[in-house]
Amino acid sequence: MKGRLFRLCQKELRETIRDRRTVMTLLVMPLLLYPLLSMALNRFLLTSGARATNTFFIGVDTEEEGSLLASYLADPRSKPPEPISESSGGGIAEFEIRQTETVKAIDALYQNQFDIVASVEFGSPPKVTITSFRGDGGSQSARRILVERLHWLKMNVAQEVAGANAPSFYPPVDIVVDEIGAEDEAPLLATIVPLVLVLMTITGAVYPAIDLTAGERERGTMESLMASPVPRFYVLFAKYIAVVIVALLTAMINLLAMFTTLWLSGMMKFLSGSDAFPWLAVLQILGLLILFSGFFSALLLCLTSFAKSFKEAQAYLIPVMLLALAPGMLSLMPGVELSGPLAIAPLISIVILARDLLSGVFHPAGALAAVVSTIGYAAAALAIAARLFGTDAVTRTSEQSIGTIFRRPLKSTPVPSVPSAAFMLALLVPIYFVGSNGLMKFISEYKEDISLSTQFWLNILTLALTFGLIPLTATFLGRHKVSTTFRIHASSPPRFVLQLFGAMLMGLGAWTLAHEAFVITDALGIGGLSKERIDQALGQLQAWKQVPPWLLLLTFAVAPAIIEELCFRGFLFSTFSRVLNPVRTILLTSVLFGLFHVMTGNALLIERFVPTTLMGLMLGWIAYRTGSVLPGMLMHFVHNGLLLMVGRYHEKFNFFGRELDDQSHLPMEWLVIASLVVAAGVIIMVLSTKPRASRFSNE
Amino acid sequence: MENDGTTSLGLPEHKMLNVHSLVKSFSLDSDEVRAVDDLSFSVAPKIVYGLLGPNGAGKTTTLRIILGLLEPDSGYTSVDGIRTCDDPIAVKSRLGFVSSNDGVYPWLSVREMLHYFGDLYGVDPEVAADLTESLAGLMGIDKLLDRRAGTLSTGQRQRVTLVRGLIHDPPVMLLDEPTRGLDVVGVQTIFEYIEHLRDAEKAIVVCTHRLDEAERLCDQFGLLHQGRLQYEGTMEEVRKKSGRDHLVEMFVDLMKGEVE
């Protein structure tokens, strides 16, 4: 079996490497690109006045002028005192004075023969005019440094004379410099290389990923491949190995070309701080490369496995490439550390890891988390790819165009299809983002002019227009039956009353569990609350006390309970349960529910994810057991309402003499009571829904 | 659907390839289309079975279900007594499949490609190498074995595809529109190939809408229209049932029935 897998890999590799287009990205591009890039970079580094000691050329017209300037610069009094020159890098810029032969020095400056031109009007004292070229960074620095040198000379001489004539003379001020902060800022190499790694591995992986997946279909080999008795995962794994190898090769050749040009052009010292070829960095980068190409190859294969053609695959990949650049830029920002959620954030974690490694910093725990989570993401992407690759959705030729989404079908259907739910979500995400951000901006700008009550009404309106109106519009456009789409359904009265009672009990106890989940995630360091945010929240609670409690309940309990339940446990639940089993349906709707709560306003409230998703799981379970949104609405309302009332009457909330605090665990007695209440609710729910649940699972 | 032991039109079932009460629908723009509607037939070794019908009759869908590329809504298919739903890998390894849409890997040599498919089918590399030589001799592509597949002509490519379908020596062979887009020489190659398959005692299904060719090639016929088997049997039997001499006339009758 091993030999077979090896031969399968061999075929994929042969196929890509023989392809001329692969060879182009693999070899020709880096060989041409880097010499050109290095020239551009050279110019950039020199003109931006990097802290390097280079030689500036001063042009003069006559020999007398030249020798006068030379004598000034040779005078030790023209040099800044030791500590000051050290603080700006240690070295002192060299000046070389050149005399023009045929043309005037000013004209030679126009032709970029010198950095600056100096002319002297002899007299006492001689008057030196320094001319620099506007807009040229090198020329500007040369002028600045020369002026400083001459100033030091003037001052030191003046101080000597003054000291000799008046023994009581002392200068008005003495300057001493000092520095704080890290000893050495990260070398340029550490900030540039992660970005380069991202670009290189993507460039290397894109073409083979498309060619080996969507290409199979385009060549007409997909059907015979799928008809062969080899597990899909095998085929895909062979392709994965091939893509990783090509991505690795591309990145290695690129890096080699980059380092060689940098080294040959003498620019290495700008990047790594020393002139030697950075062998250690190269080795570290090789290790990182495996991580990067392993990650991107899996991600790209996963996306291209969806695609029916090259064109489609490219359409999927371009946004991903652009998105991948954003985390790449992160490495350019100081103060981003490999800890907390960032240590397991896909791509971001390994970008930061690369930057840290190259600047000589190493957090073992963070690095381990980054590597392990990245391997996990790659494996997950690959598993999805193996499921998608060659499935009948991909093999079949029926195409759904954008137009079919907007056209209202003639026949009514009980439940939306997955594409129409995806379309609904695609609308909901940006509209919700714009809506909630716009609302926050509006409120913070006109805080004085609009009352708190109006703000609350606006809040309800936004909720209704997003989570309410958009699924409703999708239902109308898709001609889906409202009662089945939103799962508005009541069982026979006695059973329904029991279900409502069970849901209410669950809602009464659930907030304690949500609170505990919040405290635990906070302790684990996954998105805790900062002190400021807690204070802000407490301040908000104070302010809310001016609002009548019914409006508070309407805004944060009634409206969310009705609207969010209809959207998540109604529309999305009915859609997904058509194609997924109950467990997956509940999981998926809960995670979406959690994600939407994270994305509130302009800040990502990561700490809300775990509690909200847990809440979603409970609501999903109720929706599944009862086959209806109605009991879930009640639980949602009770849960939110209870939290609000607890918040409103915060000071009065002393239970068995214990204070309630946002960051500490609840007293044990509370937890026991709450758990019992939830358990009672669950039991009532199970008892009141048994026959229906068994019917559901038979479907 | 309790007609175990017979096909939908009453013929006895064979073990080698058996299709039983197959149903498959597709939804297009929220309309349901029945591509295959309660289809049953079976094919014995040494028999060439022509699954005939106009475009869209459900021929390719049926083949895809047999190959395990699509799942039926109900019913099943089995090869050598093994149902596709029970052990798709075992079924796939007993099926050879050649279609007119088949492509090649342009950057691989013909030999590399054939060996690759040998690996996909789990054939021992040495056996695959021997079989490649002998089949290449048979189909007249022995001189092309080391050429890049991308440089082959249409006819050469077709012969490579035909060899590819046999690389694991399957007992059942499925051919989907094998003559589409071929010239006279190409069509003749297919005829010889099918003769070879019959001699090698394989159970063969040929899907085609070229009724004239089917009449020359096949031993048994299944006339498919709108996913249903309308007539089935040998040429004699089909003629008797339909009261027509030629397949073309039978189809014209069927299409007229649809219009009325």
pLDDT tens, position by position, A138-179: 888 889 889 989 999 998 898 888 888 887 877 788 877 777
| DSSP assignment string, A602-643 | TEE-GGGHHHHHHHHHHHHHHHHHHSSSHHHHHHHHHHHHHH
Residue B250 near residue B231 (C-beta atoms within 8 A): yes
For chain B positions 75-94, those within 8 Å of chain A (CB to CB) are: 88-93
Residue A371 contacts B where some CB pair is shorter than 8 Å = no
Verify whether the Cβ–Cβ distance B69 to A18 is below 8 Å.
no
Instruction: Enumerate residues 6+ apart whose C-beta is below 8 A from A56.
Output: A93, A94, A95, A96, A115, A116, A138, A141, A142, A145, A146
The whole-angstrom distance between residue A338's C-alpha and the CA centroid of its chain comes to 13
pLDDT tens for each residue of B105-135: 999 999 999 999 999 999 999 999 999 999 9
Residue of A nearest to B28 (CA): A398
Q: Taking chain B, what is the end-to-end CA distance rounded to the nearest angstrom?
A: 29
Q: Residue-wise over B17-30: b if at least 16 C-beta within 10 A, else e?
A: bbbbbbbbebeeeb
Q: How far apart are CA A507 and CA A557, in angstroms?
A: 12
Q: Is B258 exposed, middle or buried (0-12, 13-18, 19+ CB in 10 A)?
A: exposed
Q: Is the pLDDT of residue B12 over 70?
A: no
Radius of gyration of chain B (CA): 19
Q: Is A657 on the interface with B (CB under 8 A)?
A: no
Res A398: pLDDT:
42
Residue A225 contacts B, CB cutoff 8 Å: yes
The C-alpha of B249 sits at a distance from chain A's nearest C-alpha, in angstroms, of: 31
Q: Identify the DSSP state of A51.
A: S
Question: How far is the first Cα of chain A from the last one, in angstroms, to the nearest whole number?
Answer: 40
User: For B201-227, what is the mean pLDDT?
Assistant: 89
Q: Are strands B48-52 and B220-225 parallel, antiparallel or unpaired?
A: parallel
Q: How far apart are CA A163 and CA A92, in angstroms?
A: 27
pLDDT over 70 percentage in chain B: 92
A661 or A628: which leads in pLDDT: A628
Is A227 in a helix, a strand, or coil? Answer: coil
Region of residue B122 (left: phi > 0; alpha: psi -120 to 50; beta: else): left
Reported confidence tier of residue A400, pLDDT bands at 50, 70, 90: very low
Q: Is a pLDDT exceeding 50 seen at residue B176?
A: yes
Gap between the Cα atoms of A200 and A196, Å rounded: 6
In the stretch 104-163 of chain B, residues with CB closer than 8 A to chain A read: 104-108, 112, 115-117, 119-122, 125
Return all residues near A532 (Cβ < 8 A) that are at least 6 apart.
none
Closest chain A residue to B93 measured between Cα atoms? A229
Cβ atoms of B169 and B131 within 8 Å: the answer is yes
pLDDT in tens, A225-237: 888 998 888 889 9
CA distance A9 to A21: 19
Question: Which distant-in-sequence residues (6+ apart) come within 8 Å of B93 by Cβ?
Answer: A229, B121, B122, B168, B170
Cα(A473)–Cα(A431) distance, integer angstroms = 13
Q: What percent of chain A has pLDDT over 70?
A: 80
A659 band by pLDDT with thresholds 50, 70 and 90? very low
Residue of chain B whose Cα is closest to the Cα of A221: B103
Q: What is the mean pLDDT of chain B?
A: 86
**How far is it, in rounded angstroms, from Cα A505 to Cα A684?**
9
* pLDDT reported for residue A51: 41
Q: Which residues from chain B sit within 8 angstroms of residue A392, using beta carbons? A: 64, 69-71
CB contact under 8 A, B119 and A220: no
- Looking at mean pLDDT, say which of A380-384, A403-407, A617-621 comes out highest: A617-621
Highest mean pLDDT among A188-202, A570-584, A591-605 belongs to: A570-584
Sheet order of strands, B31-43 included: B31-43, B17-28, B74-79, B82-83
Q: What is the DSSP letter of B209?
A: S
Full DSSP string of A232-290: HHHHHHHHHHHHHHHHHHHHHHHHHHHHHHHHHTT-HHHHHSSSS--HHHHHHHHHHHH
Give the per-residue pLDDT at A633: 92
Kindly give, in sequence order, each residue whose CB lies less than 8 Å from that of residue A104, ignoring residues fewer than 6 positions away: A61
Of residues B29, B91, B164, nearest to A409 (C-beta): B29
From the list B31, B69, B105, the residue facing A226 with the nearest CB is: B69
Q: Are strands B172-176 and A603-604 parallel, antiparallel or unpaired?
A: unpaired
Please check whether residue A172 touches B, CB under 8 A.
Answer: no
Residue in B with minimal Cα distance to A16? B107
Question: A226 and chain B: CB distance < 8 Å anywhere?
Answer: yes
With an 8 Å Cβ cutoff, are A229 and B164 in contact?
Answer: no
SS3 A315: helix
Give tens-digit pLDDT for A170-202.
778 887 777 766 555 556 777 777 888 888 888
Structure tokens at B211: 């009724």
pLDDT number for residue A566: 92
Most confident among A34-38, A119-123, A405-409 (mean pLDDT)? A119-123
Chain A residues 231-250 within an 8 A CB cutoff of chain B: 231, 235
What band does A590 get if pLDDT is binned at 50, 70 and 90?
A: very high
Sequence-distant (6+) residues with CB within 8 A of A54 are: A46, A93, A94
- Give chain B positions within 8 Å (CB) of A396: 26
Whether the predicted pLDDT of A697 surpasses 60:
no
Cβ pair A223:B164 closer than 8 A = no
Q: How far apart are CA B113 and CA B93, in angstroms?
A: 18
- What DSSP character marks residue A570? I
Whether residue A412 is predicted with pLDDT greater than 80 in this model: the reply is no
User: Where residue A401 falls among pLDDT bands split at 50, 70, 90?
Assistant: very low
Q: Are B66 and B95 in contact (CB under 8 A)?
A: yes
CB atoms within 10 A of CB B137: 10
Contact A506, A637 (CB under 8 A): no
Tell me the pLDDT band of A410, cut-offs 50, 70 and 90. low
Residue A691 distance to chain B (closest CA, Å)? 27
Average pLDDT of every residue of chain A: 79
Q: Which long-range contacts (CB under 8 A, 24 or more apart) does A119-127 make?
A: A119/A60, A119/A61, A119/A65, A120/A60, A120/A64, A120/A65, A120/A68, A120/A69, A122/A64, A126/A68
Check whether the bond before A125 is cis (ω within 30° of 0): yes
Taking contacts as CB-CB distances below 8 angstroms, the residues of chain B near A12 are none
Q: What is the pTM of this model?
A: 0.62
Share of residues in chain A with pLDDT > 90 (%): 10
Chain position carrying tokens 């007539």: B231
3-state secondary structure of A550: helix
User: Residue B224: CB partners within 8 Å, gap ≥ 6?
Assistant: B39, B51, B52, B53, B57, B58, B59, B62, B230
Q: A121 pairs with which residues across the strands? A: A127
Residue in A13, A224, A309 to test binding to B, most B beta-carbons within 10 Å: A224
Three-point CA angle A697, B3, B4, nearest 5°: 85
Cα-Cα-Cα-Cα torsion B63, B69, B74, B78, nearest 10 degrees, comes to 60
